Amino acid sequence: MPGYWRLNGFINSPIRACDDARGHKEVTSRRTYPSDYAPVGTSFANEPCTHGVLPTLPTLEQPPAPKHFPFPNTPFLTCFFSVISAGLQFVHLYRTMWWLPQSYTSQAVNFYLIDPYLVIFIVVILARRLIYTAGCRFLDKLLLENAQDMGHFYLRSLLFGAIGVLLSVCAYFVMQNHPVINILYLCYPVLVYLILFGFNICPFFELFNWTTESTPPLHACSSNAAEIRREVENLKINFNNRMRQILFSAILNAYYAGFIPCCFAEAALHYDTFWSAQHALFIFFSGFVSLSLHILSLRYCDILHRAALHLGRWEKVDPGKTAVPVCNTWREETLWPRGALVKHGKEVWRAQGACNGSEPGEHGAEAHIFKNPTCLVGTMLLLHLVVVFYQLVMLCQTSLWYNILSLTFILFFNYYVLYKLCRDYLISYKIYLEERGIHKKINAH
């Protein structure tokens, strides 16, 4: 295999094995097994027993660790999508026909009908992370590295108190012109936040963060099966937390940018309900895809993929179809090679991965989801293409200026997301295709 390879202008360092000096050689296990529990060699998986004499089984050899490919760096760019989308929703509600000769106004929007305190409330909610990020960058330039975490903590506390006071004042003035029951619309996401994240204020400002109580998403090429399972369990918890953050953030943006302006519209105001609801759905979908690209980045998905390779998978085997007597009992610390037959409970299992550290019958979902990140990116790409095509069709059919304006903005944003999705799909497809080829060559030997 060549020491260097090129992809889309990236030059990556040589591919190294996870364990030094192991290479493609098989290293015998350091564990000594009793003769009654000698593991089954993979070469005897289908060899029949003849003359009632059991074949001599070799000692189980430690499987080689899977080879990993380094991933190129793909930066992501933040934008003001939610804030601009909220402004476009107000345009949907309060647009005018200023071009008519007898029009009573020369403005495109009836600004006097828009509650300024409601606008401030929405903008503060949507821009909270931008304010926090700018404050963190400013503190990082002033403070020493060992004092930055403490500075971020005090900044979060200060901003949380200031934002809480500002939102309370805005909600008070909003209620002066609307029924008191409408306060539930503004406070409903707070209850959802408490259910999902408790009283932790970090998710309110940060998409993902690591504290002393949480484990960073790291992968270590361990030869101990118990450590591999613990690593996968930590990654599964981390993945679930990130998905929860993606869903909550996407719904929150669509709720305040698309739904709240409609809830506080005047009762006598007539507007197109279909287009307003459709605009809110577009905000949710576009936000969900863009947040997924940022939080579930290719590098993060590659960590999950590497852990899944070490985890392996098992296939249940009918004991009556096994020609070789199964002398192995599954053990927690053992890393089993491909084709190994083990007893776990009352069932017999065959190892399917290059190395298998998972418990038979467990971790099947993790191995299936994390095994090939290209499928996840490809699914998102397909759904995004369908939505973009639908938006293009709607743009061709409408003739109203405010609909054209909102669709054009969302389409331009979705084009950028589509570009990043296509780029990530091509990069991951090429990398994992090359990786599968290397694994096939190793398994052939």
Cα(145)–Cα(405) distance, integer angstroms: 46
**In this structure, which amino acid lies at residue 352?**
Q
User: What pLDDT shows up at residue 338?
Assistant: 80
Under 8 Å between Cβ of 196 and 248:
yes
Which pLDDT belongs to residue 217? 67
Q: What phi and psi values does residue 11 have, to the nearest 5 degrees?
A: -115, 115
Distance CA 153, CA 201 (A): 10
Q: Is 403 exposed, middle or buried (0-12, 13-18, 19+ CB in 10 A)?
A: buried
Query: Which pLDDT value is given to residue 319?
Result: 66
Strands (E), 207-321: 314-317
Between the alpha carbon of residue 343 and those of residues 6, 234, 314, 326, the distances in Å are: 45, 27, 11, 7
- Domain assignments of the chain as residue spans, ordered by start: 218-313+363-445, 315-355
Q: For residue 69, which amino acid is it? A: F
In whole angstroms, give the CA distance from residue 235 to residue 241.
10
Mean pLDDT by 10 residues, the chain (445 residues): 39 40 40 41 40 50 56 47 93 85 79 92 92 89 88 94 95 89 88 91 78 55 79 87 92 94 87 93 94 88 86 78 69 81 81 81 75 88 96 94 94 93 92 81 69
DSSP-derived letter for residue 384 is: H
